[in-house]
Amino acid sequence: MKIEFIEKRLKDIEADIELIVVAKKDFEHRFTKEYKDILEEAGFSGGQDELCLLAESKKLFVGSDSLRAKDIRPAIATALRSLIGKKYKSVKMASYLSHDKCTATLRAQAEAILLGTYKFEKYKSEKSDDFEAIYISSEEYGAKKVNIDAAKRAISKGLEVASAVNLARDIVNTPPDDFYPKIMAKVAKDIAKNEGLEVRILKEEDIKKEKMNALLAVAKASSHSPRVIHLSYKPKNPKSVVSLVGKGLTYDSGGLSLKPSDFMVTMKLDKSGATAVLAILQAVSRLKLPIEIHGFIGAVENMIGGNAYKPDDVLTAKNGKTIEVRNTDAEGRLVLADMLCYAQQEVKANYIIDMATLTGACVVGLGQYTTGVMGNNQKVVDKMLYAANVASGELAAHLPFNRHLKKTLKSSIADICNISNTRYGGAVTAGLFLEEFIEEENKQKWLHLDIAGPAFVEHAWGENPQGASGAGVRAVTRFIEKLSTSEGEHY
């Protein structure tokens, strides 16, 4: 599909259909005034993501609450998604700016095109047709003057980040029989080769030498041996160093604490954190950001069998802490415990961010669409909340730590238990568990992102399709972009 910014007025661009965003329910706007009566007759009110197709006029109208990126992005994505499978091969639309000289909305337009037209049809016998071309005109919706060079840069950035999001979606949507730890390592190698990154893969014997016994325990009953992946992007004279740590459960049965059958469906999603790390490395490399990035992934499969790890086992993590296992379905935190230790051993970073589909409790607390952000440094937490909620259009909320909840992780026979002794506050207690594996000098640098809610949803929402969303990719990439403009601000 060709996506092109054209320095022409809309009327001079040939396309099968024109997409018009009705911003702030403005039916008197020059783009909508002519169609006001018929739109109102059709019951179109211009609400956010509301659609009205005037087939005879070859125009598709979509409502948006504002001209801000957070509203334009889902509006355009929803509109384009509605055209998939229809006979329109090309689409044109105006440029949208929230105000003069600000190209954030134009970047969001570009993201919306790729995010909204995404399909995962690898396993379908009959595939729907693709668009041949989507054009963005230099004519601006509000008749603002568009800086052509800035517009092209914004669109290019949007397309690169959205491409990375779609890479993450493809990986997460791939069934577990076709995507296991060995394949995760192969994908990492391919990305490294294509983007000029460094990569190191640890196989089972290497992992044993690193004393990652918690990770190895989770992997014991699987026919697929684990992998630890370290992917590095190293620009010259980096302004900051960031370590990203991803939970890579290529499938999670729950282990001997077996999940109910309906909870086991979609557990291919449990590799979403690791997949986000891979995608972010691709995006950062293509954006050529002056930030050194290290991605650490623990790729394992949690299965059942005679050699499976058990409730009541005591595991010794890489940093020497002992963990009493009370539930084998709380396995992601065991993998991350060792991976966080390994990441801190290998790299002295200014920021450490882990991403994981870690707890159903986070989904209960925040809903399906919102990432839980946890950490000890409010300034760093706020940076991530801004990157998610404002800059990228993802949704995130802060879940504060609580010293009283920390007591619920105490074990009578080991240093810590892998689940708390209360059913409440499960997302926070999981974060507090991970904090036990962060060195004292790094506690102010660390963030934990629980993406269990938005990573995989079984119906379309906003700019996201049914299935994998690529949660975390846009937010963390924007977090890193912001670091590239900061004056050496480290924690």
Residue 490: band (very low, low, confident or very high) from pLDDT cuts 50, 70, 90: very low
CB-neighbour burial class of residue 125 (10 A; exposed 0-12, middle 13-18, buried 19+): exposed
Are the C-beta atoms of residues 260 and 197 closer than 8 Å to each other?
no
- H helix intervals, 225-298: 261-264, 272-287
Catalytic residue chosen out of the listed positions 144, 211, 259, 321: 259
Helical pair 104-116 and 148-173, crossing angle rounded to 10 deg: 30
Residue 119: band (very low, low, confident or very high) from pLDDT cuts 50, 70, 90: very high
What per-residue confidence (pLDDT) applies to 486?
Answer: 59
Mean pLDDT of 391-418: 97
Q: Which residue's entry shows tokens 């994505």?
A: 77
- pLDDT of 175 > 50? The answer is yes
CA 323 to chain CA mean position, Å: 30
Domains of the chain, earliest start first:
2-164 (3.40.220.10), 179-483 (3.40.630.10)
Mean pLDDT of 452-468: 97
Mean pLDDT of 202-212: 98
Long-range contacts of 200-209 (CB under 8 A, 24+ apart): 200/229, 200/230, 201/227, 201/228, 201/229, 201/230, 202/227, 202/228, 202/229, 202/230, 203/227
Whole-prediction pTM = 0.96
pLDDT in tens, 373-393: 999 999 999 999 999 999 999
**Percent of the chain whose pLDDT exceeds 90:** 96
Residue 86: active-site member:
no
Catalytic residue chosen out of the listed positions 70, 73, 333, 474: 333
- pLDDT of 489 > 70? The answer is no
Mean pLDDT of 347-363: 98
pLDDT in tens, 44-103: 999 999 999 999 999 999 999 999 999 999 999 999 999 998 999 999 999 999 988 889
Average of per-residue pLDDT values in the chain:
96
Nearest to 296 by CA among 350, 345, 251, 365: 345
Q: Strand, coil or helix: what is 466?
A: coil
Rg of the chain over all Cα atoms, to the nearest angstrom: 23
Residue 423: active-site member:
no
What per-residue confidence (pLDDT) applies to 488?
Answer: 40
